[in-house]
Amino acid sequence: MLVAERQKKIVELVNERTSIRVTELSRIFSVTEETIRRDLKKLEKENLLMRSHGGAVSIEKDHAETSYIEREITNAAEKKVIAKEAVKSIEQGDQIILDASTTAWYVAKELMDMPLTVLTNSIKVAIELSKKEQIKVISTGGNLLSQSLSYVGPLAERSLDMYHVNKAFLSCKGVHLDKGLSDFNELQALLKRKMMEIADQSILMVDSSKFGTRAFSQIVPVSKIHSIITDSKIDEQTKNQLEEKEVKVTIAT
């Protein structure tokens, strides 16, 4: 395969998957990781992608949210397993936050009907929980983002100031060990930050593809997270580095 053809296909893959690792690209194209890094450096200079720790991130969707329909089918198996693990840490009487991520929606689907208060900015989460009579649901309100069917903005942020919760269950688009958590949408990032501020514990639910990547809007440093629930594909080095930062890592199986 010619160099130009490989680089064109790298851009297509990055845009298709939002982010991808150097190791995976090396395996796909049967070239060394050093060759892939040179490709990524060149493509970044041409403003075709953005390099991240261990891989590359698409810039095509940086300012736009992925639709909830697309998110539901992306890494769905991993998200469902992570959600089931997250539910294990939710007890009767808890007051929790579920953000507008697909994984949070899977948590809502997995939750038993029990005495519980759930604060959310997600219409899909609220609808799912409306089927469970014992769960009290509080919606933030705010400006509606049609792509994710979620509320964001100043009204949503102010509404959170009225509450305190035991646990916040959130996801994000990128987890970078040095640069922290990030999301494509600035308004979502700001709201997630506020959610963490009012919670005793912040539990991050992300599949392993999110590690080593960065999106447009920063949320918080990794140190602000109490624990991370992820899938078994996380590499050992990343897991060890997170634990060195005193972040508990739970592998969902």
DSSP 190-201: HHHHHHHHTEEE
- Residue 201 maps to a domain: yes
Domain assignment of residue 36, yes or no: yes
Tell whether 148 and 45 lie within a shared domain: no
Neighbouring C-alpha atoms within 13 Å toward the C-beta of 139: 17
Residue 42 is part of which domain span? 3-57
Please state whether beta strands 150-152 and 143-145 pair in parallel, antiparallel, or not at all (unpaired): antiparallel
In a domain, 63, yes or no: no
The count of structural domains within the chain is 2
Predicted confidence at residue 63, as pLDDT, reads 46
So what's the pLDDT on residue 90?
A: 97
Q: What is the pLDDT of residue 16?
A: 74
Asked whether residue 141 falls in the same domain as residue 42, the answer is no
Cα–chain center distance at 120 = 16
- The verdict on 129 and 203 lying in the same domain is yes
**CATH code for the domain in which residue 31 is found:** 1.10.10.10
Is 94 a member of any domain? yes
Kindly state whether residues 124 and 143 are assigned to the same domain. yes
Q: Rounded mean pLDDT of the chain?
A: 90
Q: Using CA atoms, how far apart are residues 107 and 111, in angstroms rounded to an integer?
A: 6
For the stretch 45-103, pLDDT in tens is 888 888 876 788 777 654 455 555 555 555 678 899 999 999 999 999 999 999 999 99
Same domain flag for 29 and 102: no
pLDDT at 73: 52
Give residue-wise pLDDT tens across range 2-11.
899 999 999 9
**Residue 137 and residue 47 share a domain:** no
Show the beta-strand stretches assigned E in the chain: 19-21, 50-52, 55-57, 95-98, 116-120, 135-139, 143-145, 150-152, 165-170, 174-176, 180-183, 199-205, 217-218, 227-230, 248-251
Give the containing element (helix H, strand E) for 83: helix 76-87
**Residue the block writes with tokens 């739970």:** 250
Using a pLDDT cut of 70, give the percent of the chain over it: 93
Secondary structure of residue 88 in the 3-state scheme: coil
Point out the residues of the chain with pLDDT beneath 50: 62-63
* Residue 62 within any structural domain of the chain: no
Same domain, 43 and 16: yes
**What are the structure tokens assigned to 8, written together?**
């064109």
Q: Say if strands 248-251 and 227-230 run parallel, antiparallel, or are unpaired.
A: parallel
Question: What's the CATH number where 191 sits?
Answer: 3.40.50.1360
